[in-house]
């Protein structure tokens, strides 16, 4: 299933219920059975715990049968609890050449592999110059050695990606939460640049941390990692009412919207059990009525490009 990949952040520590090894095995079996072979992690997630656990799950799969990515630049102590999922106080950022190279080889060891299909420079929004000057040359070197196949930028900030497209030669972007029913900032300039340069885009966090999956029924829903404000709830309510009038769930509309842009090759979704995974797959098979997008445009949501 080429339009969907899975992010394994929840195999690290998180602000939600810990996933046991047995549950992780079950979830991973559902993922494989669904034909999904695109997997993403990072040393940030649990300070290496996610990579470590994912490496065990991948142990008995032929390496050529999956596409694996990790990240460099943003880090956290091993198995550190998360108090603030947006900016945990113990996190640190390091885009130096030495740390980048060490991080790659630690990731290879944890993930039980001798190469990485993709490495993203992670959340360098406030360190763009350092990342380009020090981190990127190391990744280029490792790419020339075959240790890395593709190099990318991973961020929640559209302007960060735009900077990389303007100033560097990279292969892929992981854009988190910036082309959704609540935020279309990637469509202002970033996506046209990506198309122009033939740069692949993966769209992570199409639910903006959850509220576009649950809708307004979950009063503890999060938007961009933090508890949703009353203003966000009001906008989601309007979206929900329009979707309901077509008997389409807000989750279904959100997934289809985020995948609708021609720049977006696939969605990267979080870990869910069999029921949630099957629901996501089924939602992506739904044909959304053109009129629904028109109605959403009347409340300020850009029309999907393919529908225009």
Interatomic CA distance for residues 150 and 163, integer angstroms: 18
Give the residue from 124, 122, 3, 143 showing the smallest Cα distance to 51.
Answer: 122
Q: Which of 4-18, 68-82, 226-240, 249-263 has the lowest mean pLDDT?
A: 4-18
Select the more confidently predicted residue: 83 or 48.
48
pTM of the prediction?
Answer: 0.95
Residue 162 within any structural domain of the chain:
yes
Residue 116 within any structural domain of the chain:
yes
Please give the share of the chain, as a percent, with pLDDT higher than 90: 92
The token pair that represents 1 in the structure block: 């299933």
- Give me the pLDDT at residue 261, please: 96
Whether residue 59 has pLDDT greater than 90: yes
pLDDT tens, residue by residue, 266-289: 999 999 999 999 999 999 999 999
270 three-class SS: coil
Pairing of strands 264-269, 200-204: parallel
Average pLDDT of the residues of the chain? 95
Residue 149 within any structural domain of the chain:
yes
Residue 295 within any structural domain of the chain:
no
pLDDT tens, residue by residue, 160-179: 999 999 999 999 999 999 99
Give the residue from 7, 6, 10 showing the smallest Cα distance to 82.
Answer: 10
Which element (helix H / strand E) includes 92? Answer: strand 92-93
Give the residue from 301, 186, 219 showing the smallest Cα distance to 254.
Answer: 301
pLDDT tens, residue by residue, 103-146: 999 999 999 999 999 999 999 999 999 999 999 999 999 999 99
Query: Is-contact 240 250, C-beta < 8 A?
Result: yes
Sequence-separated (6 or more) residues with CB below 8 Å from residue 158: 175, 178, 185, 186, 188, 189, 190
Residue 232 within any structural domain of the chain:
no
CATH code, 29: 3.20.20.100
Q: How confident is the model at residue 307 (pLDDT cuts 50, 70, 90)?
A: very low
Query: Is-contact 64 32, C-beta < 8 A?
Result: no
Sequence-separated (6 or more) residues with CB below 8 Å from residue 72: 43, 95, 99, 100, 103, 104, 119, 120, 121, 122, 135, 139
Q: At what angle do helices 250-260 and 230-245 cross, to 10 degrees?
A: 90
Whether residue 246 has pLDDT greater than 80: yes
Residue 240 within any structural domain of the chain:
no
Residue 237 within any structural domain of the chain:
no
Find the domain containing 62 and state its range.
4-208+251-285
How many structural domains is the chain composed of?
Answer: 1
Q: How confident is the model at residue 306 (pLDDT cuts 50, 70, 90)?
A: low
Whether residue 92 has pLDDT greater than 60: yes
Residue 87 within any structural domain of the chain:
yes
- Give me the pLDDT at residue 32, please: 96
């Amino acid at each position: 299933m080429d339009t969907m990949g899975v992010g394994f952040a929840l195999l690290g520590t998180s602000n939600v219920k810990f996933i046991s090894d047995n549950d992780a095995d079950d979830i991973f079996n559902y993922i494989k059975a669904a034909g999904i072979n695109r997997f993403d992690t990072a040393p940030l997630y649990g300070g290496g715990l996610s990579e470590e656990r994912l490496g065990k799950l991948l142990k008995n799969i032929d390496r050529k049968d999956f596409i694996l990515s990790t990240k460099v630049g943003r880090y956290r102590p091993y198995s550190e609890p998360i108090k603030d999922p947006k900016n945990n106080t113990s996190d640190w950022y390091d885009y130096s050449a030495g740390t980048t190279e060490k991080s790659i080889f630690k990731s290879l060891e944890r993930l039980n592999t001798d190469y990485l299909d993709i490495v993203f420079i992670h959340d360098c929004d406030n360190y763009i110059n350092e990342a380009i000057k020090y981190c990127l040359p190391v990744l280029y070197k490792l790419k020339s050695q075959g240790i890395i196949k593709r190099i990318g930028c991973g961020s929640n900030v559209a302007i960060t990606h735009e900077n990389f497209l303007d100033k560097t030669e990279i292969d892929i972007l992981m854009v988190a939460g910036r082309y959704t029913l609540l935020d279309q900032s990637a469509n202002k300039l970033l996506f046209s640049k990506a198309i122009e340069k033939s740069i692949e885009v993966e769209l992570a966090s199409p639910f903006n941390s959850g509220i576009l999956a649950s809708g307004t029924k979950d009063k503890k829903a999060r938007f961009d990692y933090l508890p949703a404000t009353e203003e966000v709830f009001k906008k989601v309510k309007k979206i929900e009412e329009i979707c309901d009038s077509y008997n389409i769930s807000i989750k279904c509309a959100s997934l289809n919207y985020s995948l609708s842009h021609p720049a977006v090759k696939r969605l990267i979704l979080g870990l869910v059990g069999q029921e949630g995974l099957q629901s996501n797959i089924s939602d992506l098979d739904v044909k959304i009525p053109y009129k629904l997008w028109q109605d959403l445009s009347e409340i300020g949501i850009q029309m999907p490009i393919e529908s225009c």
